[in-house]
Amino acid sequence: MESHLRAKGAQFYSIGLSYKKADAEIRGRFSINDEAQKAILAQAKAEGVPSLLIMSTCNRTELYGYAQHPFQLIKLLCEHTHGTVEEFEKVAYVYKSKDAISHLFKVGTGLDSQILGDFEIISQVKFGFRQSKKFDMINPLMERLINAVIQASKRIKNETEISSGATSVSFASVQYIMKNVPNISEKNILLFGTGKIGRNTCENLIKHTKNSHITLINRTITKARAVAGKFNLIVKPYSEIQSQITNADVLIVATGAQNPTISKELLYLKKPLLILDLSIPKNVSDNVTDIPEVSLVHLDHLSKMTDDTLSRRKTHIPQAEQIIEEIKKEFVDWLETRKFAPTIKALKNKLSTLSASEINIQRKKLTDFNEEHADILSNRIVQKITNHFANHLKDDDTATAESIELIQQVFQLQNKLS
């Protein structure tokens, strides 16, 4: 397999870094925006790199392509980002040939993601593929490989449950709210605080509930307005928090304070209220549950939901890996066939020519010669002989290069291998 993962003398490599060894700051330094991606592809093409795929997300930056040496790809990455070779070498990984192929399958199917089963990554593979195609930087082998990875991702998504359930606290919050609050799109939702989880929950609520009754309160109103502008929320001053809570059906607390900011003394309720405390440490006092109308859900409960989801997802890894192996084998078989297909085609043409010549001779010599029967018989014999040679070359124990050379010599075939 090594020999036919070459293009113009270059080997197939994957180089990159991810959340596993590189922290957010380092990943940020090696992040590739759209302009940098185009610049890398243009330079790679000018330098004679035959094929290149670029992927950059918040959790990883990777280059897949052909090079005489992986440093050629590392240099391209470092020249167009804010990272240095020295920094890269501390956190990087480099895969070659079949290991690079296996890595792309794992990444593209979500098995290497920070959140197991994250299928957003395949959209990044597709985006990188489209960008490279625009620069004519995808050769037939790379195109076949990427399509195989996309196929594997689709099958794993459809045939396993590795992407089921909520895996982030913000999304688990939204699922909990939607499950426990009927007609959520018509309810009043109050977000107190601008913590990251609270903001993400709010964004997910807007996307999944189509709710236009979301109000934001923050002690610093300028911060509230900055967040509200992004999400199109209603902003109210902190002085109105008591009346806003009374009016709310759902209260999301993400204040990031060191002591509780919500207690039963603030609550004057006329209807049921669901409170989600998404803060560390807890920002909602347990005494709110003294009020019968209150339902309280803490971050640790939602975190447990996401932990359980990830545990369930892990049980589906073997099934996902089996699908990958099936599709990867199909790709490798195709790769093997590419290597000897020209020789088999040339052999079949040579045998067909010999057969046609012999039939022509016999036609002239025999008065009752049945040319139709002779054609059928000779074609079947030619096909059987070529099948025997093809099966021989497919055999794992066969020294393919030496066998091809011998076939070419014996049958005096022109060498059509590039």
Give me the residues paired with residue 96 across strands. Answer: 13
Residue 274 pLDDT grade (very low, low, confident, very high; cuts 50, 70, 90): very high
pLDDT score, position 166: 66
Which has more pLDDT, 401 or 8?
A: 401
Mean pLDDT across 85-93 = 96
| Token couple for 85 | 């070779």
Query: pLDDT at residue 323 above 90?
Result: yes
* Separation of alpha carbons 150 and 114, rounded Å: 19
pLDDT score, position 398: 67
| Token couple for 151 | 């196929």
If one counts every other C-beta atom within 10 angstroms of the C-beta of residue 165, the result is 18
Phi-psi region at 183: left, alpha or beta (left = phi > 0; alpha = psi -120 to 50): left
C-alpha distances in Å from residue 96, one per residue of 10, 15, 127, 128, 326: 11, 9, 23, 20, 21
Residue 345, phi then psi, degrees to nearest 5: -65, -45
CA dihedral of residues 282, 283, 285, 289 (deg, nearest 10): -90
Query: pLDDT at residue 112 above 50?
Result: yes
Please identify every residue annotated as catalytic.
58
Residue 416 pLDDT grade (very low, low, confident, very high; cuts 50, 70, 90): very low
3-state secondary structure at position 161: coil
Minimum mean pLDDT range among 82-91, 203-212, 304-313, 322-331: 203-212
Query: pLDDT at residue 44 above 50?
Result: yes
* Separation of alpha carbons 211 and 205, rounded Å: 7
| Token couple for 180 | 């426990």
Q: What is the DSSP string of 99-160?
A: HHHHHHHHHHTTTTSSSTT-THHHHHHHHHHHHHHHTT---HHHHHHHHHHHHHHHHHHHH-
**If you average pLDDT over each of 62-71, 107-116, 200-209, which comes out highest?**
62-71
Q: Do the beta carbons of residue 341 and residue 407 sit within 8 Å? A: no
| Token couple for 391 | 């099966």
pLDDT score, position 73: 97
If one counts every other C-beta atom within 10 angstroms of the C-beta of residue 414, the result is 9
Kindly tell me the burial class for residue 239, based on how many C-beta atoms sit within 10 Å of its own C-beta (0-12, 13-18, 19 or more).
exposed
- Comparing CA positions, the residue from 23, 221, 203, 41 lying closest to residue 114 is 23
Residue 4 pLDDT grade (very low, low, confident, very high; cuts 50, 70, 90): low
Mean pLDDT across 183-192 = 92
Looking at the chain, the whole-number percentage of residues with pLDDT higher than 70 is 95
- Comparing CA positions, the residue from 150, 145, 132 lying closest to residue 49 is 132
Q: What is the pLDDT of residues 373-415, one digit of tens each?
A: 988 999 999 899 988 887 887 776 667 778 878 888 888 887 5
* Separation of alpha carbons 51 and 68, rounded Å: 12
pLDDT score, position 309: 85
Q: Do the beta carbons of residue 299 and residue 219 sit within 8 Å? A: no
Query: pLDDT at residue 101 above 80?
Result: yes
What does the mean pLDDT of the chain come to? 88
* CA 73 to centroid of chain Cα atoms: 21
Q: What's the sign of the alpha-carbon dihedral 216, 220, 225, 230? A: negative
Peptide bond into 70 cis (omega under 30): no
pLDDT score, position 143: 96
Q: What is the pLDDT of residues 11-40, one digit of tens each?
A: 999 999 999 999 888 999 999 999 999 999
Minimum mean pLDDT range among 64-68, 225-229, 283-287, 296-300: 225-229
pLDDT score, position 418: 37
Which has more pLDDT, 113 or 75?
A: 75
Mean pLDDT across 215-234 = 84
Kindly tell me the burial class for residue 395, based on how many C-beta atoms sit within 10 Å of its own C-beta (0-12, 13-18, 19 or more).
exposed
Mean pLDDT across 200-219 = 85
pLDDT score, position 190: 94
